[in-house]
Structure 1
Amino acid sequence: MDLRRLRFLREFEVRGTLGAVATALGYSPSAISQQLAILEREVGATLLEKAGRGVRLTDAGRILASHAVVLLAAADAAAADLAAQTDSVRGTVRASGLQSAARRLLVPAVARLAAPYPGIRAEVREMEVEDALPELRLGSVDLLISDEYDGHPRPRPAGLRFTLLHTEPLKLVLPAAHPLAAGGGPVPIAALRDEVWAASETGSGHHTMVIGTCRSLGGFDPDLRHRCYDAEVQLELIRRTGAVGLLPALALPAADPAVACRDVAEKRLFRRLFVVTREGPGAPALTTFLSALRDVATLLGDPQREADPGDAPRGRADA
Structure 2
Amino acid sequence: MIDFRRLRFLREFEERGTLGAVATALGYSPSAVSQQLTLLEKESGARLFEKAGRGVRLTDAGRLLARHARILLAAAEAAEADLAALGGQVRGTVRAGGLQSAARRLLVPAVARMAAEHPRVRVEVTELELEQALPGLRLGSVDVMVSDEYDGHPRPRPGGLRFTPLLDEPLHLVLPAAHPLVRAGGPVPVAALRDDIWTASDEGTGHHAMVVGTCRALGGYEPDLRHRSGDVDVILDLVRIAGAVALLPAMTLPADDPGLAVRPVAEAAAGRRLFLVTRDGPAGPALTAFLAAVTDLAQRLP
Q: How many residues align?
A: 285
Deviation at 1:40, TM superposition (A): 3.9
- Equivalent residues of 1:94, 1:141 under 8 A apart: yes
- Equivalent residues of 1:77, 1:281 under 8 A apart: yes
- SS of alignment partner, residue 173 of structure 1: strand
Deviations 1:222-253 (A, max 9, x none): 11111222111111111222111100011111
Deviation at 1:68, TM superposition (A): 3.1
- Equivalent residues of 1:172, 1:187 under 8 A apart: yes
Distance 1:66 1:234, change over 3 A: farther
Deviation at 1:207, TM superposition (A): 1.1
Deviation at 1:69, TM superposition (A): 4.2
Q: Distance in 2 between matches of 1:12 and 1:151?
A: 29
1:101-140 superposed matches below 5 A: 101-140=102-141
Distance 1:11 1:260, change over 3 A: farther
Match of 2:276 in 1: 275
- SS of alignment partner, residue 111 of structure 1: helix
1:48-87 superposed matches below 5 A: 59=58, 63=63, 64=65, 67-87=68-88
Distance 1:279 1:261, change over 3 A: same
Q: Distance in 1 between matches of 2:89 and 2:165?
A: 28
Match of 2:298 in 1: 297
Deviation at 1:261, TM superposition (A): 0.9
Distance 1:121 1:36, change over 3 A: farther
Q: Distance in 1 between matches of 2:7 and 2:95?
A: 17
Q: Distance in 1 between matches of 2:57 and 2:130?
A: 31
Where structure 2 has 5 or more consecutive residues not aligned to the other structure, the ranges are 14-21
Deviation at 1:47, TM superposition (A): 6.1
Match of 1:154 in 2: 155
- SS of alignment partner, residue 271 of structure 1: strand
Q: TM-score, normalised by structure 2?
A: 0.84
Distance 1:196 1:11, change over 3 A: farther
Match of 1:6 in 2: 6
Deviations 1:134-172 (A, max 9, x none): 321221111111111112111111221111111111110
Deviation at 1:8, TM superposition (A): 7.3
Q: TM-score, normalised by structure 1?
A: 0.80
Deviation at 1:41, TM superposition (A): 4.1
Where structure 1 has 5 or more consecutive residues not aligned to the other structure, the ranges are 22-28, 50-55, 302-319
- Equivalent residues of 2:6, 2:37 under 8 A apart: no
Deviations 1:248-293 (A, max 9, x none): 0111112222111111111221111111111111011000001111
Deviation at 1:133, TM superposition (A): 2.4
Deviation at 1:131, TM superposition (A): 1.3
Q: Distance in 2 between matches of 1:154 and 1:95?
A: 19
Deviation at 1:66, TM superposition (A): 6.3
Q: Distance in 2 between matches of 1:11 and 1:244?
A: 46
